[in-house]
Amino acid sequence: MDAIILQILNGLDKGSAYALIALGLTLIFGTLGVVNFAHGALFMIGAFCAVTLQRILALSHEVAVPGETDFLGNPLMRNVPYVYDWFGEAAGQTIIEWSVPLALLFAIPIMIAVGVIMERGLIKHFYKRPHADQILVTFGLAIVMAELIKYWFGANPIPAPAPPAFTGSFDFGAALGMDPNTIIYPYWRLVYFGFAAVVIAAVFAFLQFTTFGMVVRAGMADRETVGLLGIDIDKRFTIMFAIAACVAGVAGVMYAPINSPNYHMGMDFLVLSFVVVVVGGMGSLPGAVLAGFVLGILESFASMREVIEFMPGINQVVIYLAAIIILLTRPRGLLGRKGMMED
Amino acid sequence: MSKSNFTRRGLLKTSAAAGGALAAPTFFSNAMADGHAGYLNAPQGSSVTLGFNVPQSGPYADEGADELRAYELAVEHLNGGGDGGMMNTFSSKALTGNGILGKKVEYVTGDTQTKSDAARASAKSMIEKDGAIMITGGSSSGVAVAVQALCQEAGIIFMAGLTHSNDTTGKDKKANGFRHFFNSYMSGAALAPILAANYGTDRNAYHLTADYNWGYTTEEAVRTSTEALGWNTVAAVKTPLTQTDFSSYIAPVLQSGADVLVLNHYGGNMVNSLTNAVQFGLRAKEVNGKNFEIIVPLYSRLMAKGAGANVKGIFGSTNWHWSLQDEGSKAFVKSFGTKYGFPPSQAAHTCYVQTLLYADAAERAGTFNPCGIDEALADFQFDGMGNGPTLYRAEDHQCFKDVLVVKGKENPANEFDLLEIVEVTPAAQVTYDASIFGGELGTCNPGA
């Protein structure tokens, strides 16, 4: 029982990341009709926004440490961050330690800008082209983005730790009256799950309860008619692209402490997120979220030692296996609508 | 009017035959061309070309970049430039800064991408197109084994870069291949006494192992040496090489009753699994009345940087570290640090040393012939290269030298100061019988 609870918990944070990326993918596909293979790269850029802000906050000047030498025998220089000078050492250190949550504020304008530039500069020229062309150009863009990040930040992962207040793990076992240490779960992953839930709820509320959202939903259903009503749907769709980029970006920022960001993390998530979108049903936002969590939890179960011993390698194929079964039984995915990608 | 005999079918046949002929290995034709010298790619002019095959793209690109820096420094020193680095401290005095055998050293580079097929293709290209007399480099055992086999087949010396699997000089050893870097067995043998001294002899270990060649040999080495101490292995779970989130592998560790987690991971795998384990608060836990501990058998400073503060207090082993205070290490760190502004990694060190060892062997042998190099390196004993007195054992072409047991530093002074040396394990303690890993060394192949 405890092992099952543990793996459900484990699946939640992975599922949160899949759901957030898949949500953005579905928004773009549903509104613009574009299959965006660069969406994983947007997630990666979000994570590197966290790294960048961390580096900006850590910008420092050198102060010689009296009586000590460095590895070449020169006087040892200690780096003192400018934020220490401005806010005092204790406050400065707290600011640096909280750089990941602070990076959300930093990432939002950057991701909006990246989204708008991507959509206006490249994607819009491919609206009327076949899906294969869209996939090729966005996949190429993803490679370019990953290589640029590698050029600036190197190939090694870069740590972006969570604030000290969220290090360590919560003992669910003890809280539920079981033996201590049977079910532990890191605080930051709980934060990530909560954060994902808030973002997903906000996106749904935005689409459901605002006039803008109503127009976008109408545009998703019948773009031509909305255009005939005199609404500049293109402009709204550009904004939707920026919002989708933003969702992927903030998902990446908050994911940075879970796994140290590296340049290929976008690709690692991209393929699985596409499977999530297809399983959830092309164009279905609730489907994307549902499939994200279901597949995340399934992947977690398949990684259990008992399962691997019984079926070696199952952890690497379980998502695709589930996708095949679901698509055979429900060809439009879990919550897919008729008519999507069926023309 | 002339009538052409070409038909579509005929043209296809001719093209296929021509393509087949072009695709056939050209080692033989090259060997014929250089046949008078008795070995492949014998240098004809006033220069000799070395082939540096390192990961320039892919996940180990930073390690590859550091290897390349070390190679460039070695070439500079061999040609008489710079301050000479370890050439001044090397016990053999055959190198004079006048190239190798009077020929100026030049080099070409290839990108292994940390993929065996790409690494073989780039090595093959450097041998066939650029006339490289020796291939060196790499940051993965899979790549090292693949390129070593290619060099054996071609008749070129392979001086391995960073490769830690027992197999490189064990079951897959080759007469044309040489490894200066240490291996999994040595890591296990060096770590075990330190683990016993710090964590006791009554421990339950849980292994997470990267699902490939190096992971298996490292797990086996650490298991064997810790079980000999009295430790019990609770479980050993293989993790896919492509795994980035290890939470589902780490979550069940505490439930298993284990009080030690051994991460047989390298590179990005190590960074992520260690980060996840620390996130789960494993190190703050108490199991079986003891503090929970984590061990990383193979440490790399470049990787430790990726894991940040998570490495603090964690034991592991390493081939070399820039903070060593012997004359050779100091000379190398000074040369490298002055040229590049930061201390070298263990990958840079082994690559630099391998280049000097090759050059020295050629000087002593008086030839670039792989069989001459083979003879000069066999049972060659040297010192002054940063690891104390070292033996290049003839039976398996493996170097035997002191191994460093290190620990993540609690209070690093700077971004390079991540590991502290806990123990320098003497070579005798990590030496083993060459036959235990099987394999056949075979005979040297000069390629002609």
| ipTM of the prediction | 0.76
The candidate with the shortest Cα–Cα distance to B397, out of B368, B377, B367, is B377
Nearest-angstrom CA–CA distance, B88 and B98? 14
Q: Do the Cβ atoms of B392 and B178 come closer than 8 Å? A: yes
- The alpha-carbon gap from A297 to the nearest alpha carbon of chain B, in Å, equals 10
Q: Which residue has the higher pLDDT, B142 or B15?
A: B142
Same fold, B47-182+324-401 and B185-318: yes
* For A4, nearest residue in chain B (alpha carbons): B252
User: What is chain B's percent helix, strand, coil content, to nearest 5?
Assistant: 45, 20, 35
Give A-chain residues touching B113 at CB under 8 angstroms: none
Cα B445 to Cα B329: distance, rounded to the nearest angstrom: 34
Q: What is the mean pLDDT of residues B203-214?
A: 92
Return d(Cα B436, Cα A299) in angstroms, integer.
39
More confidently predicted of B289 and B381 = B381
Confidence of residue B10 (pLDDT cuts 50, 70, 90): very low
**Quick check: is A337 in a domain?**
no
Q: Which amino acid is at B114?
A: T
Give me the DSSP letters along A87-100.
Answer: H-HHHHHHHHHTHH
Which residues from A are below 8 Å from B333, CB to CB?
Answer: 71-72
**Where are the domains positioned within chain B?**
47-182+324-401, 185-318
Half-sphere exposure in the Cβ direction for A41 (13 Å, CA): 19
Contacts of B307 in chain A (CB under 8 A): 159, 260
DSSP state of A28: H
**What domain range is A22 assigned to?**
2-329
Concatenating the DSSP letter of every residue in A70-118 gives -TTSSEEEEEEEHHHHHH-HHHHHHHHHTHHHHHHHHHHHHHHHHHHHH
What is the 3-state secondary structure of B343-370? CCCHHHHHHHHHHHHHHHHHHHHCCCCH
B291 contact A CB<8A: no
Q: Do A315 and B334 touch (CB under 8 A)?
A: no
Q: Is B62 on the interface with A (CB under 8 A)?
A: yes
The residues pairing with B159 across neighbouring beta strands, listed in sequence order, are B136, B178
Q: What is the CATH number of the domain that holds A68?
A: 1.10.3470
* Whole-structure pTM value: 0.81
DSSP character at residue B191: H
Q: What are phi and psi of A337, to 5 degrees?
A: -105, 155
Distance from the B241 Cα atom to the nearest Cα atom in chain A, whole angstroms: 10
Q: Which of B72, B91, B83, B73 is nearest to B386 (CA)?
A: B91
Q: What is the C-alpha separation between B20 and B37, in angstroms, rounded? A: 29
Q: Is B439 touching A (CB cutoff 8 A)?
A: no
DSSP assignment string, B138-187 = -S-HHHHHHHHHHHHHHT-EEEE-S---GGGGTTT--TTEEB-S--HHHH
Which residues of chain A neighbour B279 with C-beta distances below 8 Å? 162, 167, 169, 186, 188-189, 257-258
B212 contact A CB<8A: no
Chain B 223-252, CB below 8 Å of chain A: which residues?
Answer: 235, 237-238, 240, 242, 244-245, 247-249, 251-252
Number of H helices, E strands in chain B: 14, 17
What is the model's pLDDT at position B192? Answer: 93
Nearest to A305 among B235, B268, B414 (CB): B235
Find the residue in A nearest to B344 (Cα): A71
Q: What angle do CA A286, A292, A322 make, to 5 degrees?
A: 110
Distance of CA A189 to the CA centre of its chain: 13
Q: Which residue in B285, B309, B338 is closest to A181 by CB distance?
A: B285
Residues 6+ apart with CB under 8 A from B198: B315
Residue A221 lies in a domain: yes
Strand, coil or helix: what is B247?
A: helix
pLDDT score, position B4:
43
The distance of A71 to chain B (nearest Cα, Å) reads 7
Contact call for A182 and B305, based on CB within 8 A? no
AA letter at A266: G
Question: pLDDT-derived band of residue B12, with 50, 70 and 90 as boundaries?
Answer: very low
Instruction: Provide the domain count of chain A.
Output: 1
DSSP class of B100: B
Distance from CA of B431 to the nearest CA of A (A): 31
- Going from the C-alpha of B441 to that of each of A80, B175, B396, the distances in angstroms are 55, 5, 6
Residue A341 within any structural domain of the chain: no
Which has more confidence, B115 or A339? B115
Task: Characterize B39-60 residue by residue with b for buried, 16 or more Cβ atoms within 10 angstroms of its Cβ, and e for exposed.
Answer: bbbbbeeeebbbbbbbbbbbbb
pLDDT under 70: residue ranges of chain A: 1, 338-343
Q: How many CB atoms lie within 10 A of CB A287?
A: 24
Phi, psi at B119, each rounded to 5°:
-65, -40
Mutate to test the interface with A, among B60, B242, B254 (most CBs of A within 10 A): B254
Count H helices, E strands: chain A? Answer: 15, 4
The residues near B223 (Cβ < 8 Å, ≥ 6 apart) are B188, B205, B207, B233, B236
Residue B6 has pLDDT above 80, yes or no: no
Closest CA relative to residue A99, chosen from A44, A160, A190: A160
* Distance (Å, whole) CA A44 – CA A55: 17
Nearest partner of B314 among B192, B225, B419, B187, judged by Cα: B419
Q: How far is B326 from chain A (nearest CA, A)?
A: 13
The vertex-A91 CA angle with A85 and A96, nearest 5°, equals: 85
The answer, yes or no, to whether residue B8 has pLDDT greater than 60, is: no
For chain B, positions 89-128, list CB contacts with chain A under 8 A: none
Chain A partners within 8 Å of B251 (Cβ): 6-7, 9-10, 184-185
User: Nearest chain A Cα to B207, which residue?
Assistant: A305
The mean per-residue pLDDT over the stretch B164-169 comes to 95
Within 8 A of B281 by CB-CB distance, chain A residues are 167-169, 184, 186
Report which of B361, B362, B403 is spatially closest to residue B380, judged by C-alpha positions.
B361
Q: In the structure encoding, which two tokens stand for residue B37, read together?
A: 């010298």
Q: Mind telling me how many Å the CA of A245 is from chain B's nearest CA?
A: 23
Of A6, A68, A260, which has the smallest distance from its Cβ to B251's Cβ?
A: A6
Looking at chain B, the whole-number percentage of residues with pLDDT higher than 90 is: 72
Total beta-carbon pairs less than 8 A apart between chain A and chain B: 128
Q: How far apart are CA A63 and CA A58, in angstroms?
A: 15
Report whether pLDDT(B340) > 60.
yes
C-alpha B418 chain-centroid distance: 21
Q: Residues of B with CB below 8 A from A71's CB? A: 322-323, 333, 337, 343, 416
DSSP, collapsed to helix, strand or coil, labels residue B436 as helix
Least-confidence region, from A294-308, B147-161, B384-398: A294-308
Say if the Cβ atoms of B252 and A181 lie within 8 Å: no
Asked if B237 and A188 come within 8 Å (Cβ–Cβ), the reply is no
Q: Do B416 and A7 touch (CB under 8 A)?
A: no
Question: Smallest CA–CA separation between B201 and chain A, in Å?
Answer: 23
Domain B185-318 is in which class? alpha beta
The chain B residue lying nearest A11, using CA atoms, is B248
Strands (E) across B372-413 are located at 380-382, 390-392, 399-400, 403-408
Mean pLDDT computed over every residue of chain B: 89
Task: Transcribe B249-299 into DSSP letters.
Answer: HHTTTGGGT-SEEEEE--THHHHHHHHHHHHTTGGG-EETTEE-EEEEEE-
The answer regarding whether domain B47-182+324-401 maps to CATH 3.40.50.2300 reads: yes
Please tell me the distance from the alpha carbon of residue A182 to that of residue A7, in angstroms, as a whole number.
Answer: 12
Q: Which two tokens stand for residue B265?
A: 């991971």
Minimum mean pLDDT among A314-328, B3-17, B207-221: which range? B3-17
Tokens 């019988």 found at: B433
Residues 6+ apart with CB under 8 A from B115: B58, B143
- Of A232-236, A318-322, B13-17, B351-355, the range with the highest mean pLDDT is B351-355
Higher pLDDT, B262 or B2: B262
In 3D space, the residue among A34, A223, A219, A26 whose CA is nearest the CA of residue A128 turns out to be A34
Query: Which residues does chain B have within 8 Å of residue A9's beta carbon, measured at their own beta carbons?
Result: 251
Do residues A226 and A218 touch, judged by C-beta distance below 8 A? yes
- Phi and psi (nearest 5°) for B159? -105, 105
Query: By CA distance, what is B259's nearest residue in A?
Result: A181
Token pair listed for A187:
């605080």
Six-digit token pair at A241?
């692209």
The C-alpha of B254 sits at a distance from chain A's nearest C-alpha, in angstroms, of 6
For the four alpha carbons of B337, B341, B347 and B352, in that order, the dihedral sign comes to negative
pLDDT at B17 over 50: no
Check residue B36 and give its pLDDT. 40
Neighbour order of strands in the sheet with B260-264 = B232-239, B204-210, B260-264, B293-298, B315-318, B403-408, B419-425
Q: Which residues, in sequence order, are CB contacts of B312 under 8 Å at separation 6+?
A: B408, B409, B410
Q: Does B255 touch chain A (CB under 8 A)?
A: yes
> By the CB < 8 Å criterion, does B58 face chain A?
yes
Answer whether B13 touches A (CB < 8 Å): no
- pLDDT for the residue numbered B295: 96
Beta bridge partners of B136: B52, B159
Residues 6+ apart with CB under 8 A from B180: B159, B160, B350, B353, B354, B357, B390, B392, B399
List B233's β-bridge partners, or say none. B205
